[in-house]
Chains A and B, each alone.
Chain A
Amino acid sequence: MIGKINFVVALFCEAKPIITHFNLRKRDSTLFKIYSNQNHSIWLIISGIGSSASSRATKYLALDSEADMGTAWLNIGIGGHDNLPLEKAILAHKITDSQTGKTWFPQLVFDPQCFTASVKTVEKPDFNYPDDNVVEMEASGFYSAAESYSTREMVHCMKIISDNLQSPAGKITAAMVDKLISRNLSIIKELVRKLQFLSMKEQERTSDPPFLQECLSRWHFTVTQTHQLKNLLQKWSLIQPGKNVLDVLFLDGMDSRNVIQTLDIHLKNTPVWMDHD
């Protein structure tokens, strides 16, 4: 299994180094510019500036990429801070929406290999850099949308410091942004690797048990029966690893009810012993 990751990035100049590095190709899309790699394990959307735009783009990408609970999400962009040096990458450990006061706490279950900080999402550019926060304009919209599709361990925001008291935001250019992101690509790559690992773990956990698709294509199961079948096949995979479930099912003249009954009886007669390997 390959871990899946979706990037949400406000501007093309922020996205360009990522698109190039991960060899992403532009896809046909009308509302947003969307990119993905060849095996569709990495996706990227250009959201535009602002929290609402980021939220909309995240939802759009979730649909377009068929994101599931095993998909990791990463918002990358630039931000300002009163004293952090330019080019420094930070991962958000707290996100606050300045309008609503709502907060999110991304869960760091890995070593991020970069500094972490609180991030404040503002509606309009704020050059006062309040309360030791990294100030930016997308994180809260992104986070509130992305956590609908995944969990807080797999949704993260990385900001690269683009302005501070010594170097105000007015000096920022597209070329400078490209350079800021490019110079942090090794940190981004490492973060992506860790998120892909979590994604892979989650996909393994939530994946269908072996033989489910074979059974579903052979017989017609109701929703309740499908649920029962999944449970039975999960148990089968623990009790009879590597053995083909179809070997105990009579393929001719059986209906979905017979399948479930046969499996149930078979598994009840095959105890699972905790002390066996």
Chain B
Amino acid sequence: MIETIYIESEIRSHPRTKSILSRFSKARIVECERYGEVFNPKKQNFRLQKIKPALIIARKHGNFILDAPKGFGIGGRKNYYFSHMLNCIYDCRYCFLQGMYRSANYVLFVNYEDFQNEINNIVEQNPDEKEITFFSGYDCDSLALESVTRFVREFLPFFQKHKKAVLELRTKSINVDELLNHEVIPNCVVAYSFTPENISQKLEHGVPPVKKRIQTMKSLAEKGWRVGIRLDPLIYHESYKKNYRKLIQEIFYMISVESIHSVSTGPMRFPEKMFHTIKQLYPDERLFAGPLKNRNGLTSYSEEIETEMMNFCNTILENHLPKNKLFSCLQSSF
């Protein structure tokens, strides 16, 4: 429940701001000039703010659409990402956001039209591209705060009109009413992230259980939505082979291959400095005491472990779906 809402003065009267405020009549409203005044100051504690994050309503002033990091993709030649929101309601211990931002408050940029105009420009500037992928769940969960943001409600009609633009909604949320009530659009992929249930219980705080996520994915697939599976990051543990095999089997038992747009696997990697920040925030976290190494400015499992896990999971996945639907996300920058 959001109890404090910061609003940039210039968008106090924005229709989306008004709409949100009408749904949070009891919230404490605090005006600021720029969201950075609240979000960026050094003396903030991400871990403590996770107890009760506030919402910051802001206007984004540029860099609406960014090139996706190298190695981040699901088959398309051109990949971009955009963030209508910064931070996430979930609290996954492997998430880079906890080391990226000083604040755990949610920043929501309400000038959706500016994002849409920029997507439109990119599509028009690339007439020869068959499809261009736009990832929306990089700095947040695409669906989890839908009741506040109405992001899906506002962006689906836009993508419906721009068929060359593929939207990936990356999520762990089971809050999919907006999608189930909307006509299916083929250029949208609803991608679910998973770790095995026992790992999820330890590391993915506040996230719906794996079974519920699979069930939700099934409902979407049955409705006709194309779904994606993201085993990213892969978490190394003693029974990882047994657990990832079970997870993959459970998913493919429930979801027909025809509904699956893509499956991707990816290793756990952090820039060294970011890892240091996260480890200081959670010194009591076993994940960070694991067999991690510093390689080329990144903290990750050893190359041997990474390769072993990726190969293992990809081999099992290849038994379930054609190779052209399988991708490895080897992100080397953030």
- Tell me the A residues contacting B by CB distance below 8 Å: 93-94, 103, 105, 107-111, 116, 118, 147-148, 150-154, 198, 201-202, 205, 209, 234-235, 238-239, 271-276
Most buried by B among A151, A198, A235, A239: A151
Tell me which residues across on chain A come within 8 A of B43, comparing CB atoms.
Answer: 147-148, 150-152
Closest 10 CB pairs of A and B: A274-B237, A275-B237, A153-B48, A273-B238, A151-B45, A109-B51, A147-B43, A238-B289, A109-B52, A272-B289
User: What's the least CB distance linking A98 to chain B, in Å?
Assistant: 16
Is residue B112 contacting chain A, with contact meaning CB distance below 8 A? no
Whether B28 and A93, one on each chain, are in contact in the complex, defined by CB atoms closer than 8 angstroms, is yes
Distance of B174 from chain A, by nearest CB (Å):
24
> Within the complex, what minimum Cβ distance (angstroms) separates B129 from chain A?
41
Q: A93-B28, A111-B3, A151-B43 are in contact. List 17 more A-B contacts (CB 8 A).
A: A93-B4, A105-B37, A105-B41, A107-B48, A108-B52, A108-B54, A109-B49, A110-B52, A151-B48, A153-B48, A154-B45, A154-B48, A205-B47, A205-B281, A274-B286, A275-B237, A276-B238
The answer to whether A152 touches B51, judged by C-beta atoms less than 8 angstroms apart, is: no
Q: Could you give, for residues 199-238 of chain B, a 1 whenever the CB lies within 8 Å of some chain A CB and a 0 otherwise?
A: 1001100000000000000000000000000000001111
Interchain pairs with CB closer than 8 A, number:
96
Task: Determine if B81 is an interface residue (Cβ-Cβ < 8 Å).
Answer: no
**Whole-angstrom distance between the alpha carbons of A151 and B239 in the complex?**
40
Does residue B284 face the partner (Cβ distance < 8 Å to A)?
Answer: yes
Q: Assess whether A274 is in contact with B202, with CB atoms less than 8 Å apart.
A: yes
Shortest CB distance A258–B (Å) = 22
Q: Which one, B30, B52, B198, B199, contacts A94 given CB within 8 A?
A: B30
Q: How far is the CB of A274 from chain B (nearest CB, A)?
A: 4
A153-B49, A238-B286, A275-B238 known; A108 and B28 CB under 8 Å?
yes
Docked complex Cα distance between A273 and B33 (Å): 47
Assembly CA distance A238 to B238 (angstroms): 16
In the complex where A105-B38, A108-B54, A153-B44 touch, is A239 in contact with B289 (Cβ < 8 A)? Answer: yes
Chain A residues with CB under 8 Å of B236's CB are: 274
Whether B48 contacts A198 by the Cβ 8 Å rule is: yes
* Tally of B interface residues using CB under 8 Å: 41
Report the bound CA distance from A209 to B284 in whole Å: 10
Given A105, A148, A153, which contacts B45 in the complex, CB threshold below 8 Å? A153
Please measure, in the bound complex, the distance between the C-alpha atom of A127 and the C-alpha atom of B43, giving whole angstroms: 33
A111 partner residues in chain B, CB cutoff 8 A: 3
Q: B291 is contacted by which of A150, A234, A271 (Cβ under 8 Å)? A: A271
Contacts A/B (CB < 8 Å), 28 sampled: A93-B30, A107-B48, A107-B54, A107-B105, A108-B3, A108-B54, A109-B49, A109-B52, A118-B30, A147-B43, A151-B43, A151-B44, A152-B41, A152-B43, A153-B48, A153-B49, A198-B48, A202-B45, A205-B283, A234-B283, A238-B286, A271-B290, A274-B199, A274-B236, A274-B238, A274-B286, A274-B290, A275-B199
Q: Which of A110, A116, A153, A154 contacts B28 (CB 8 A)?
A: A116
Q: Within the complex, which residue of A103, A107, A148, A209 is in contact with B37, where a contact is CB–CB below 8 Å?
A: A103
Interface centre among B33, B49, B105, by most chain A C-beta atoms within 10 angstroms, is: B49
Q: Is B287 an interface residue when CB atoms closer than 8 A count as contact? A: yes
A253 to B129: give the CA distance in the assembly, Å.
70
Chain B residues whose C-beta falls within 8 Å of the C-beta of A239 in the assembled complex: 289
CA distance A105 to B31 in the complex (A): 10
Interface presence of B175 (CB below 8 A): no
A245, chain B: closest CB distance, angstroms: 14
Residue of A nearest to B282 (CB): A205
Complex CA distance for A116 and B202, rounded to whole angstroms: 36
**Residue B193, interface by CB 8 Å:** no
Q: Kindly provide the distance from the CB of B99 to the nearest chain A CB, expressed in whole angstroms.
A: 15
Max chain A Cβ within 10 angstroms of own Cβ: one of B30, B198, B203: B30
Interface string of B287-302 (1 = CB under 8 A from A): 1011100000000000
Is B6 engaged at the interface, CB distance under 8 Å to the other chain? yes
Q: Flag B1-38 by CB within 8 Å of A: 1 or 0 each.
A: 00110100000000000000000000010111100011
Q: Give chain B residues whose Cβ lies under 8 Å from the Cβ of A273.
A: 237-238
Q: Give bound CA distance, A110 to B49, whole Å.
A: 9
Determine whether the beta carbon of B49 is less than 8 Å from that of A107.
yes
CB-contact partner of A107 in B44, B203, B237, B289, under 8 A: B44
What residues of chain A lie closer than 8 Å to B235, measured between beta carbons? Answer: 274
Interface residues of B in 48-105 (CB under 8 A from A): 48-49, 51-52, 54, 103, 105
List of B residues within 8 angstroms of A276 by Cβ: 238
Q: A103: which B residues are within 8 A, CB to CB?
A: 32-33, 37
Residues of chain A within 8 A of B202, CB atoms compared: 274-275
Contact residues in A for B4 (Cβ distance below 8 Å): 93, 108
**A110 partner, pick from B47, B51, B54, B287, beta carbons under 8 A:** B51
Q: In the complex, what residue of chain B is closest to A207 when comparing beta carbons?
A: B283
Q: Hey, which chain B residues are within 8 Å of A93, CB to CB?
A: 4, 28, 30
Residues in B whose Cβ lies below 8 Å from that of A118: 30
Contact among A108, A235, A272, A275 for B239, CB-based, below 8 A:
A275
Determine if B243 is an interface residue (Cβ-Cβ < 8 Å). yes
Pairwise interchain contact B30-A105, C-beta atoms closer than 8 A: yes
Q: Which residue of B lies closest to A151 (CB)?
A: B45
Give the most central of B31, B202, B284: most A CB within 10 Å: B284
